[in-house]
Chain A
Amino acid sequence: MSATVAEEVPVSPLRLGLERFARNRTAVVASGLILLFILGALAAPLIAPHDPADADLFRRLQPPAWQEGGEWAFPLGCDSLGRDILSRLLHGARVSLLVAALVIGIAAVIGTLAGLTAGYLRGWADTLISRLVDTLLGFPYLVFAIGLMAMMGPGLHNIILVLIYKEWVFSCRVVRGETLAAREQDYVEAARALGCGTRHIMLREILPNVLSPVLVVATFRMAYVIIMEASLSFLGLGVQPPTPSWGSMVADGRDFLVDAWWVSTLPGLAILALVLSINLASQGLRDAFDPRLHHA
């Protein structure tokens, strides 16, 4: 009897999920890469060999160090204004990650609160929020972002706002669905019977139970947001010079594709590496934390 009891000591779903995640080698390697990007971005002012805005026309389109004409002082070569590409990549990572973190973080908070409200209160609050969600889903993402950026003007601040305007919808939809289901569960009924207030039930009872899907949605949306920022910057609607952004770096190199492949190719590779890592890690998270998948 006692043995059975010992075996049934509950292990938290979080710990179970993390253990499953740790066994997924691809996801762990991808997470390591993401961590490297984050460290590189944080330490950019310390480790970047040069000032990312430091132009020198004598070094115009200087090739990477391993090619003829390159030198190790500028390991990845220089762009059309003679600026060091490695330094610009490191500083560009700050923009990509800052936009992704702020947009996803703020959108997740807004979306979760809106989803909880709509799902738990129902009624006019649900109608209002759901209509707004449907309307925002009525725009292709990039069309919405480009249209709004066109009106608001380019810049880091606006890019973050515009992406949040659309992004919260995704966590809201997930949380609303989960809340609708949780509403009928025994533990919520019990809390209600005990006389707990609406706010208490929403934030203390339901919220902890909907957090893991929010986490999963947030990570895979992050990859999308990074591509969005890069796309807007590529079109010239994003972060403005002299601040380097990977998207605008790709655009800068467009006219020199033939003579200087590295100017466009390297920042594009950086985007691909980061986005792919995030996608792999988020797939690992989904496999580890989505219990429905494990029953399937």
Chain B
Amino acid sequence: MTASRLLERLLQTLPVLFGVSLIVFLMITLTPGDPVEIMLADSRATPEQAAQLRADLGLDRPLPQRFLVFLGNALTGDFGISFFHRRPVRDVIAERLPATIELTLAAILLAIAVAIPLGVIAAVKRDTWLDRALTALSLFGVSLPGFWFGLLLILLFAVQLGVFPVGGRTDFDLEVARVTGFLLIDSVIAGRPDAFLAALRHLALPAITLGLPTAALLTRVVRSAMAEVLTSDYVLFAEAKGLSRRRVLLRHALKNALIPVVTVAAIETGSLLGGNMIVETVFGWPGLGRLVVESIFARNYPLVQAAVLLYAVTYVMLNFTADLLYTALNPKVRL
């Protein structure tokens, strides 16, 4: 892909980013009632403090001007003060973000690790009972409500079998010094295998809960991509040349079948950001998703607004990346 094409694609995402920011801005602005009154509903703020907050939020200015201020602030990462924490929203989010990224990455890696072998098996054995069973299984996976599946896993593996912890990110006596905020990395830096294992065990159930529906979806993508590739001329040719089945599958077929898989995985990573809110709530995972849900009930609107914007921008950029990957990996789409 040429640089000009890359730039053109990047420019195409700008209107979307603008639109997304506008909607996030309007979400809080067009809320019925006075946001300041709602925010201060349970506090004993004086009228002067309320007026101060109104001025801080710029609510006394006309809408278009407020939107420009909001955009400018968002670009510099300034989302105001989190009432609840009495600290800048940006700092609170930065603190919680690594936990969410760690969980999301674990979930998507798990999903890919499950989906590729299952999808390949289904494609190779297509139209057999095994293929049908795997298709049924993946339909089951996409029909599972995540919050409920998480509770079942807790009931089975944490409560009954005691193999995994019920929730949280690590055991309280195994905490390590925070360097990156990623517990797995931090425990390696601290040279603490016990802390690493504890973090991994805490990560397991939430990652499975979050990753399984994605695994189900990806399995179907791998299956159909692989099924298509397996009937293509170059694979038939490779087989006719007498290459081993294994070599044809792994070197020739899978490599091309992975193109749509990478694309869908990138997009799905964005969707997991929403699923995080549910899974983090179920498992008491101290990430951004749970913080957002807590903030909703604490009427901590600046934080909710900032997080929704962050999620949406990440999602748009992941879609953009998926598009790039698709073009970069696929020799047929060289424009």
Contacts and interface: CB of A to CB of B under 8 A. Distances in A.
Nearest to A257: B155
B19 interface: yes
B274 A143 contact: yes
A261 B155 contact: yes
B165 to A, nearest CB: 14
A264 B148 contact: yes
Given A146-B296, A147-B27, A231-B278, A268 B151 contact: yes
A152 B315 CA distance: 23
Most buried by B among A142, A151, A272: A151
Contacts of B22: 135
B273 interface: yes
A80 B301 CA distance: 32
Contact of B281 (A134, A135, A140, A235): A235
Contact of A143 (B144, B154, B308): B308
Contact of A142 (B31, B277, B282, B304): B277
A50 B275 CA distance: 35
Given A135-B20, A141-B271, A146 B143 contact: no
Nearest to A235: B293
A139 B20 contact: yes
Contacts of B62: none
Contacts of A135: 15-16, 19-20, 22-23
Interface string A252-287: 011001100100110110011001100110010000
A235 B145 CA distance: 13
Given A151-B27, A272-B143, A283-B139, A138 B16 contact: yes
A268 B292 contact: no
Contacts of B23: 135-136, 139
A152 B288 CA distance: 21
B270 A140 contact: yes
A250 B28 contact: no
Contact of B139 (A147, A227, A234, A279): A279
Contacts, number: 134
Nearest to A246: B145
Contacts of A231: 145-147, 278
Interface in A62-78: none
B55 interface: no
A146 B293 contact: yes
B24 A147 contact: yes
A143 B146 contact: no
B191 to A, nearest CB: 37
B16 A250 contact: no
B277 A235 contact: yes
Contact of A140 (B28, B146, B147, B274): B274
B17 interface: yes
Contacts of B99: none
A275 B148 CA distance: 13
A193 interface: no
B148 A250 contact: yes
A150 B304 contact: yes
Contacts of B292: 146
B152 interface: yes
Interface residues of A, number: 46
A40 interface: no
A224 B69 CA distance: 36
Nearest to B272: A140
B142 interface: yes
B19 A146 contact: no
Nearest to A134: B16
A102 interface: no
Contacts of B262: none
A272 B148 CA distance: 9
Most buried by A among B22, B27, B151, B275: B151
B80 to A, nearest CB: 16
B144 A272 contact: yes
B159 interface: yes
A122 to B, nearest CB: 18
Contact of A139 (B140, B148, B278, B315): B315
Contact of A279 (B143, B151, B312): B143
B269 to A, nearest CB: 10
A237 interface: yes
A148 interface: yes
B316 interface: yes
Nearest to A237: B296
A104 B292 CA distance: 28
A235 B296 CA distance: 10
A109 to B, nearest CB: 22
Interface of B: 15-17, 19-20, 22-24, 27-28, 31-32, 139-140, 142-149, 151-152, 154-155, 159, 270-271, 273-275, 277-278, 281-282, 292-293, 296-297, 301, 304-305, 308, 311-312, 315-316, 319
9 nearest interchain CB pairs? A142-B274, A135-B19, A268-B148, A147-B308, A140-B274, A150-B296, A276-B143, A275-B143, A138-B20
30 contacts: A134-B15, A135-B19, A135-B22, A135-B23, A138-B16, A138-B312, A139-B23, A139-B311, A139-B312, A140-B311, A141-B271, A142-B271, A143-B277, A144-B274, A144-B308, A146-B296, A147-B308, A150-B301, A151-B28, A230-B147, A235-B278, A237-B296, A250-B145, A250-B148, A257-B155, A265-B152, A267-B148, A272-B143, A272-B148, A276-B140
